[in-house]
Amino acid sequence: MNTRMAPELTKEHSTVLGVKPFEHIEKIIDNILPSAERRIVSKGDIVHYYQNDIRQCFLLTQGCVALHRRGDGIVLNSESSPFILGVSSQFSSEHLYVRALETSEIAAVSLERFNHVVAQQNLWEHFSKLLIYTASRVYEHCAQISQMSAYDIIRFQLVELMQEPDAIRQNITAAAYIKSRTYLSRSGIMRILAELRTGKYITMERGVLLDVHHLPRKY
């Protein structure tokens, strides 16, 4: 790595994560929760969107989860509470599943009932804010990992990881986090992480990311 390159400013942040519409999400949850069935899911448990052929959506009231794509298992997104899963992809969800990243509480409700309450309680503005945020998160992820260099992808993923809740960041190695979200080889990821660590751009302990000091724009 060319450590003489001008480093990027410290404490970078994702533009989308910083504008999560908490109040709008909580407003929807408050209205839907009386119709939902709460349950606890343990770390690593997988939750599917269909139950007895009925399409479900989930209110994430406590904890953290990841949204995976079937087939290759790649992580499309991760979210911490409060959040609502399964309402932005109402016409295609068979190729997706949810996995708990820590012991979490979710509340399941049929998609039909969710849509009915949104209409009945006139929650359209709150719902639109949730949809805009969700779509922006997925778009940001896809845009950042397509047609970019391996270093650019890793750089973006490190910024994302640093903004994750402690329950996620402290329980996964930086290499595993990046590997689960990209098609990069583990050896390539490890090599770049090692160089960033040697250059004192990041601090890691036993593979866990502790801090991002500053990341150079170029590799």
- Read off the pTM: 0.74
Give the rounded distance of the alpha carbon of 178 from its chain centre: 12
pLDDT at 14: 57
pLDDT at 171 over 90: no
In the predicted model, what is the mean pLDDT of residues 186-202? 94
| 107-146 pLDDT per residue, tens | 999 999 999 999 999 999 999 999 999 988 888 777 766 6
Which tokens sit at 209? 């990311």
Give the rounded distance of the alpha carbon of 197 from its chain centre: 24
| 13-35 pLDDT per residue, tens | 556 777 899 999 999 999 999 99
The fraction of the chain above a pLDDT of 90, given in percent, is 58
pLDDT confidence band for 172 (50 / 70 / 90): very high
Edge-to-edge, what's the strand order for the sheet holding 75-80?
Answer: 46-47, 96-100, 64-69, 75-80
pLDDT at 115: 97
